[in-house]
Structure 1
Amino acid sequence: MSYYAVVNGRNPGIYSSWDECKSQVDKYSHAVYKKFSSLNEANRFMKNDGVSSCSSHDDYYEESHGSGGVHCGTSQRSYSTQGGYTFDIDSDGYVNVYTDGACSSNGYSHAKAGIGVYFGDNHPLNVSQPVSGRATNNNAEIQAVIKALEQAKKANIKNIKINTDSQFLINCINEWMPKWKRNGWRTSNGKNVINKQELIQMENAMNGLNVIFEYVPGHKGIYGNEMADKLACEGAADYRG
C-alpha cells in the first residue's frame, strides 16, 4: 500500500491514494508532498516538515507535475527564535500553534476533559492539562486557545496563528460572537450563551496580539493536530472534576 504525505497543500495530511493527494496539491503554489511505501516513513516526513534525505536541512521534496520525479527545493516554512524559544513561523510571520480539546463521555456527569497546546516536539511551551470547571468538549477547545495565547505572551509573541479542528471555535470567531454580543449574549432563540464566560476570557486573552484562526481537519494525519490531540487526551485523563 502507498501513502502520500502532503506537508504543504490545501489540507496537509497523509492520504492513501494518488487521487486524494492530487486534489490537495494540484495547482497549489509550492505544494510539498511525497509518496511512501510505509505509514511510518510518511509520518516521519510530516514530522520533519517535509525533510527526509535532501542534503540541506532546509530542503524539502516536491514531486514535479507530469514527470512524476522528485526534486529538492526551498521550503516556505521557517523557524525563528524569540525569547529563547524556537517557533514554526508561516510565510506571513505568524507563529503556528495547534490547540485541541478532548472530552470523554461528553454531556454526561462522569465526563473528563483536557486541553492540548502544541508548538513543536518537546517544546517548553507545550501544555497538557485538565480543564477548569465544566468538563465539556467546547469548554476544552476554548480553554486550549486561552492557554495558547497566554503561552504566546509569555514568549513575547505578537503574531500567532491558532490551528484548530474545532468548527465550533471557527464559527464563534467568524459568525456567532458578534451576533451574541449584539443580542446581550443571547442566542437567536433567546437563550443564554452557555460558554459566555469562557468566550469573554478568550477574547480578553487576545488583547495585545494579532491572532489568526485556521481550521484544520481533525484525525487526518496533520502532525501538529495529532500532537495537540494527544496532549489533550493526556490532560483529560488527569481531570478530577
Structure 2
Amino acid sequence: MSAKGEGGNVVIHTDGACSGNPGPGGWAAILEFKGVEKKVCGGEAETTNNRMELTAAIEALKALKRPAHVVLHTDSQYLKDGITAWVHNWQRNGWKTAAKKPVKNAELWQELLAAMKPHKVDWRWVRGHAGDEMNERVDKLAREAMKPFKPGKDASAAGK
C-alpha cells in the first residue's frame, strides 16, 4: 500500500487510544500503497494506551500480504523507541529491563518482532495532535474503534 513520492513503499499510519489507562481502548492503522488505502482497526474492553499503540502496529504489519518496505508513522515515542532502541537489550536480558524487572507488554513486543520479520520497516515518529492530516485521521479511527467497548454499550456491538 504507497504514498506519493515514496516509490514502492507501503506507508502506514498507526494510533492507539484509551479512555482511562487502563480502560476501554481502540487501535487503528491506515495502510497506503499505490494510491490505495486500507483501514484496519479494533479495540478491547480493558487495556492501556501503550498496548493499543503496539497492537495498531502489529495488526497493520499482519495485514500486508507480501514482504514490503514499510514506512510506519506513529505518534508513540514508547512504540518507536521501544522497537528501535530498547527491544534488542530486552531480548538479550531475557525480556528484563535494565532494572532487572519484567518488560511490560513483552508478549506484544515479541509479536511485533514476528510481524516485522518479512518486512523492512522504517519507523517514523510524528507529533500527535499537531495538525498532521494522517495522524489526525488515524487518531479519529482509533477513538471510534474504542466506542463499542465503553461501559454502557451493548456487549454484542463490541466485536463489530
* Band of TM-score, shorter chain: 0.7 to 0.9
1:231 has 2:128 as partner: no
Aligned residue among 95, 100, 103 for 2:18? 103
CA deviation map 1:178-221 (0-9, x unaligned): 11111110011111111100010010011111111100110011
| Structure-1 residue corresponding to 2:152 | none
Contact 2:14 2:74 (C-alpha < 8 Å) held by counterparts? yes
Tell me how far 1:127 sits from its aligned partner: 1.4
Counterparts of residues 50-89 of structure 1 (less than 5 Å):
87-89=2-4
Tell me how far 1:157 sits from its aligned partner: 5.4
How does the TM-score come out when normalised to structure 2? 0.84
1:219 has 2:132 as partner: no
Tell me how far 1:117 sits from its aligned partner: 0.6
| Structure-2 residue corresponding to 1:185 | 95
Structure 2 residue runs of 5 or longer lacking an equivalent are: 150-154
SS of equivalent to 2:63: helix
SS of equivalent to 1:105: coil
Aligned residue among 30, 50, 53 for 1:138? 50
Q: Aligned equivalents of 2:120 and 2:37: distance in 1?
A: 22
The aligned amino acid for 2:18 is C
Contact 1:125 1:151 (C-alpha < 8 Å) held by counterparts? no
Q: Aligned equivalents of 2:70 and 2:97: distance in 1?
A: 29
The 1:142/1:93 distance shift into structure 2, 3 A limit, reads same
Percent of paired sites with the same residue: 34
**Length, aligned pairs only:** 148
Q: Aligned equivalents of 1:151 and 1:222: distance in 2?
A: 23
Q: Aligned equivalents of 2:31 and 2:93: distance in 1?
A: 36
CA deviation map 1:63-88 (0-9, x unaligned): xxxxxxxxxxxxxxxxxxxxxxx642
Higher relative contact order (CA 8 A, sep 6+): 2
Contact 2:30 2:37 (C-alpha < 8 Å) held by counterparts? no
Cα RMSD (Å): 2.1
Aligned residue among 62, 65, 83 for 1:150? 62
SS of equivalent to 1:115: strand
Q: Aligned equivalents of 1:197 and 1:128: distance in 2?
A: 20
SS of equivalent to 1:125: strand
Larger helix proportion, structure 1 or 2?
Answer: 2
| Structure-2 residue corresponding to 1:118 | 30
Please tell me whether Structure 1 or Structure 2 has the larger radius of gyration of its CA atoms. 1
Q: Aligned equivalents of 1:226 and 1:99: distance in 2?
A: 10
Name which of structure 1's ranges 179-188 and 231-240 shifts more when overlaid on structure 2: 231-240
Q: Aligned equivalents of 2:73 and 2:46: distance in 1?
A: 23
Aligned residue among 117, 121, 144 for 1:207? 117
Q: Aligned equivalents of 2:147 and 2:84: distance in 1?
A: 31
